[in-house]
Amino acid sequence: MINLKFSKNISCLAKGIILIVIFICWSNTCFGQKIAVPENIQAALLTKVLKYNPQIPQNSQIKILVVYNDNTILDKDEFIKGLGSSMAFKAITTRELAKNISEFDVVYFMEGINGFSELCRSNKVLSVTATTRFVEEGEISLGFGIENSKPKILVNLTSLDMEGQSFSSDILRIGKIFK
């Protein structure tokens, strides 16, 4: 009788462990990191990549707008921490973009924010995004993805040209190019 009770307890314990493992795997799939490259690494890469853009003034502090929404407030803070003191920045919501864009060299759009490519193009401001798909589709000029488990620079040449921007061949050689 005791062996039967013990074996039922082991069976219940095993089923419980299996359910926990399934839940953890499912939650990692559904609620995992939204973007491939963490915000602080994107910020560090951006500070280096901008040195290869001749339209960005190198003799003064580069001015960057960080555009966020309610869903990206925490990510915005991580991105800003990654910039350090290398750039002058201003964090704004999408509602404030039109009145601020002309005073900045770069606009960085947090994850999922799109629909502002014309504003960047008309103001000749470099657009950067946390959403790789927007670079691939030509809405944004610069982004960062993952290739072979390493960060990769993504550049859309058509969008870059429409913004009046360019990068040296050094960046284009190591980046993934879209047209």
Q: What is the tens place of the pLDDT at every residue in 116-126?
A: 999 999 999 99
Count of other CB atoms within 10 angstroms of residue 24: 10
Residue 125 CA, distance from chain mean position: 18
For the segment 128-152, the average pLDDT, to the nearest whole number, is 94
Q: Using 50, 70 and 90 to split pLDDT, how confident is the model at 1? A: low
Q: What is the pLDDT of residue 24?
A: 45
Tell me: the pLDDT tens digits for 60-91?
Answer: 899 999 999 988 887 899 999 999 888 999 99
Nearest to 108 by CA among 64, 160, 56: 64
Count of other CB atoms within 10 angstroms of residue 64: 27
Local structure of residue 69 (DSSP, 8 states):
-
Backbone angles phi, psi at 39, to 5 degrees: -55, -45
Predicted confidence (pLDDT) at residue 41 exceeds the cutoff of 80: yes
Q: Using 50, 70 and 90 to split pLDDT, how confident is the model at 11? A: low
Per the CB < 8 A criterion, the answer to whether 62 and 21 are in contact is no
Write the CB contacts of 97 (distance below 8 Å, at least 6 apart in sequence): 65, 67, 107, 116, 119
Query: Looking at the whole model, is its pTM more than 0.75?
Result: yes
Instruction: Say if residue 160 is exposed, middle or buried (CB neighbours under 10 Å; 0-12, 13-18, 19+).
Output: buried
